[in-house]
Amino acid sequence: MRRDIFQAIADPTRRAIVMLLAVQAMTPNAMAEHFETSRQAVSKHIRILVECDLVEQEQQGREIQYHLKVAKMREIEKWLEQFKVLMAKRFNQLDDVLTRLKERKK
Amino acid sequence: MNPENIFNFTMDKENLSVKVERSFDAPLDLVWSAWTEAELLDQWWAPKPWRAETKSMDFNEGGRWLYAMVGPQGERRWGLKAFTKIIPRKSFTYRSVFCDENGAVDPATTSSMWVNTFTESKGVTLVTNDIRCETLAHLEAQVKMGFKEGYIMCLDNLEELLALLTKKGQ
């Protein structure tokens, strides 16, 4: 199975986890309190987020805390920029088509 | 592009949606035709040097547009837009998905929903695309093509791209 940023946020529970971690680092227990699903299910999603390299764990005394790797989120912005360039190019071509149509109508 | 044209691009990561607004200096009738008639779509939908080639078009609710994006080496990527709702001259909605040349869709393929809305004011038409992805992976697939196109575009028109990137970096 692919493990990348897109897989990481493909699931609504994982997106919710990412939003929680964007605010602060959390323990798995604290995270599980925010969801109605079982702790096991939440743990599974956390594991996928770690495998996707979007989240990392840190030992804090006896507890494990999870952090969001914010730089990873920028990958999304990078390809959205590319999508924007694609749309811009497409629309500039549409401008030309419309100019031709307007001239034909005259 | 006319500098007076509106071009807004906003995203909502939480809802996996992208909203694009673009104004065109043409009456609504023409813009609507350009978005809904195969022979016109073929002229602009694919970013150069790619071109779009319609295999079949049935612009009706329940109908679909089956087309290929044809690359400079003749490579073909097939796409399908399945129209779910059409309000003539106002808006239309479709599901966009990659497919094979017969329009068969791999069940594992993800899709995006596009709601395209048209309004006219003083001869200028504003088009809004609300693009919602089942998963971001679908947009990613589109963008992977975009990367290739972006790269080719970069070779074609390096200056233009650099100017764009410079502006972004500010």
Set of chain A residues whose Cβ sits within 8 Å of the Cβ of B5: 95
Q: Which of A55-59, B80-84, B95-99 has the highest mean pLDDT?
A: B80-84
Max avg pLDDT among B27-41, B52-66, B96-110, B141-155: B52-66
Tokens of B111: 């899709």
Q: Which residues pair with B118 in a beta bridge?
A: B127
SS3 at position A102: helix
How many whole angstroms separate alpha carbon B70 and alpha carbon B65? 15
Q: How far is CA B130 from CA B28, B30, B73, B116, in A?
A: 18, 21, 32, 6
Residue B117: is its pLDDT beyond 90?
yes
* Mean pLDDT computed over B12-25: 80
Cα angle vertex B113, ends B109, B117, to 5°? Answer: 155
Distance from CA of B104 to the nearest CA of A (A): 24
Residue B167 has pLDDT above 50, yes or no: no
Testing the interface with B: which of A85, A93, A103, A106 to mutate, by most B Cβ within 10 A?
A85
Within a 13 Å sphere around the CA of B44, how many CA atoms are in the beta-carbon half?
23
Residues 1-30 of A with CB under 8 A from B: 6-7, 9-10, 15, 19
Local confidence band at B33 (pLDDT 50, 70, 90 cut-offs): very high
- The continuous run of DSSP H or E covering B82 comes out as strand B76-87
Site of tokens 């227990």: A29
Average pLDDT value over all residues in chain B: 79
0.80 surpassed by pTM:
no
User: Please, which residues 1-60 of chain B have a Cβ atom closer than 8 Å to chain A?
Assistant: 1-2, 5, 7, 9, 11, 13-14, 16, 18, 20, 22, 24-26, 30-31, 33-34, 40, 43-48
Bridge partners (DSSP) listed for residue A32: none
Counting residues of chain A whose pLDDT is more than 70, the rounded percentage is 92
Q: What is the pLDDT of residues B43-61, one digit of tens each?
A: 999 888 888 999 999 999 9
A92 and chain B: CB distance < 8 Å anywhere?
A: yes
Angle at B76 between CA B139 and CA A79, to 5 degrees: 25
Note whether A106 contacts B: Cβ–Cβ < 8 A: no
pLDDT tens for chain A, residues 1 to 106: 567 776 777 777 887 888 788 778 899 888 888 888 888 999 999 999 999 888 999 888 888 999 988 777 776 667 677 778 888 889 999 999 999 999 987 7
Q: What is the CA radius of gyration of chain B?
A: 16
State residue A52's pLDDT score: 86
Q: Which of A18-32, B59-73, B76-90 has the lowest mean pLDDT?
A: A18-32
Query: Which residues have CB under 8 Å from B74's CB, separation 6+?
Result: none
Rounded Cα distance, A98 and B1, in Å: 12
